[in-house]
Amino acid sequence: MHYKTFMYFLILNTLMMKTSLANQAGLPQLNFETYPSLIFWSILSLITLYLLVSRLVTPKLSEILNYREQNIQNNLLKAKSLKEEADIIIDKIKIEQDNARSEARKMIESSIAANKALIEKKGEEISKNINKKINDTIKEINQERSKNISELLDNSSSVAEKIINKVIDLQVDKKELNKVVKEASSLVYKDKIYGN
């Protein structure tokens, strides 16, 4: 509505100026008779312009600025709340990561301990098996040695008898010879065992 009023005044002012200019000759700016009319219409135009700007343009600009300010404040509040939520989530993630690391360390340590115990157990079993095999082998060797010594003793008495028969051509009592060989062999056997 103000806009239509302003346009009517502007058209009316233009028409009046044309009629006054058409009647006079020369430059209208220097014609002092048109000054009151120019002043009146200038003041009227400025007042109308002021009213239009103050009633129509300024409220719209202030509304736009207020809307922008509210929008900025709302965005800042949202950003602040989102940042707080993000900080909370980051803290939770850090706590979960620390818990996961500690659980992983515990699992690794328990696995290492279990493997160490298993290795020690297997090592003891292997040691026992090796010691058992060594002892069994030593027993077998001692049995073979005893067997071989007894065979040697048995054969040595017959060999000694044959040597004596051939060298000296004497008849030897087998019992007496076996007794002497056994005594000599027991002395030799004791020397070997005790290292004398």
Give per-10-residue mean pLDDT for the chain (196 aa). Answer: 73 65 59 81 94 89 92 95 95 95 93 90 90 89 79 71 72 72 70 53
pTM: 0.40
Only one residue has tokens 């020369």, namely 26
Helix 58-167 × helix 174-194 angle, to 10° = 150
Q: Which residues form the domain of 167?
A: 149-194
Q: How far apart are CA 36 and CA 17, in angstroms?
A: 12
Closest CA to 34 of 49, 17, 47: 17
- 181 belongs to a structural domain: yes
- 49 belongs to a structural domain: no
- The pLDDT, as a whole number, for residue 38 is 84
- The pLDDT, as a whole number, for residue 175 is 73
- 175 belongs to a structural domain: yes
- 140 belongs to a structural domain: no
- 176 belongs to a structural domain: yes
- The pLDDT, as a whole number, for residue 44 is 95
- 170 belongs to a structural domain: yes
- 168 belongs to a structural domain: yes
Structural domain count, the chain: 1
- 33 belongs to a structural domain: no
